[in-house]
Amino acid sequence: MDVVLEFSDHYILDHIWAKLVPLQQSTESPAWLTRFAESLPTFFQPPPPTVFREELVSAWPRSYIIRQMFSVTWITLLGTVILYFLFGCLSYYFVFDHRMMKHPRFLKNQIKMEIWTSLWSFPGMTMLMMPWFEGEVRGHSRLYHNMDEYGWTYFILSPLLFLLFTDYCIYWIHRWLHLPFLYKHVHKPHHKWIIPTPFASHAFHPLDGYAQSLPYHLFVFLFPIQRHLYLALFGMVNLWSVFIHDSDMVISSNSQVEKFINTPAHHTLHHLYFTCNYGQYFTWADHAGGSYRPPEPALHPLLEVVSAEQAGPHQANGDTAAPRKVVWQSKDE
């Protein structure tokens, strides 16, 4: 977040804050901002101006914690919405098999409900994440800039450390969220989507989304990681969350990839059966925890769609005989 805030301050926010709370014309600042600043404890008061500048600048400098919190909040909300719709739309139009929308457990107006649940959840998740973001911005994390600090070997290996650490933590957080009390009050809204679409990727209760994001924030306070690399990994996390919610089970039971990587096929089974495949990126934690269930073509939910379509003509003609055996084909066949 420190990288994004620094970029935003330089190109956009310095100008906006100079207009909202100008140093030279502080008496013309919006009344609500003035009253808000004056009501804060001494620690949160904006610093007094020390140098007068002719150009328009803000009375709230970049280092002022209240300005940072407002800025980070809006940056996070805007960035989350943009990434959600960008990745979600790309997956929905180019990856998601639209035949899945005919599944008997696909809800009426489900995509609309997934989107509204996500948009409702984003502000709550953002506020819960704020202390972590603010800690990064104020230099309390172990984010670093200079490559010479830890060298190229650590730089290359740190993404693997990030993925292994966050994957294992999320496995247990996700599994605990399925405990009856937590499931009923926190995680159940996400399992409303039995047949998820990419827009279900962020359709959580705010506490659910926050709980499963904790390992990403905790990592940078425990382990050093290059700040630009961390930003790229954080973006990848959002992309992966969309990717595993496209209900795709094309991978065959003979694939070697599905033995190690938590694919959309694995997560589709999680939404269908609830008690398996809690991992985020890999399957090792599920193997160790006894919750692994391999994806098999026979478990593909599209089979129910095809079966219903094949049964339709028989029922329409009054034929009660069982429909012919369903042979699954991928959408590209």
| 115 pLDDT tier (thresholds 50, 70, 90) | very high
| 4 pLDDT tier (thresholds 50, 70, 90) | confident
Long-range contact set of residues 13-18: C-beta below 8 Å, sequence gap at least 24: 13/71, 14/57, 14/58, 14/62, 15/56, 17/58, 17/60, 17/67, 17/71, 18/56, 18/57, 18/58
| pLDDT above 60: residue 330 | no
Task: Tell me what percent of the residues of the chain surpass a pLDDT of 90.
Answer: 49
Half-sphere exposure of 247 (CA within 13 A, CB side): 27
**Which of 6-10, 42-46, 219-223, 276-280 is predicted least confidently?**
42-46
Give the pLDDT mean for 309-326: 49
Residue 226 pairs in a beta bridge with 144
The answer to whether 121 and 205 have CB atoms below 8 angstroms apart is: yes
| 327 pLDDT tier (thresholds 50, 70, 90) | very low
**Which of 38-52, 71-85, 140-154, 243-257 is predicted least confidently?**
38-52
Which secondary structure element, helix H or strand E, spans residue 215, and what is its range?
A: helix 206-222
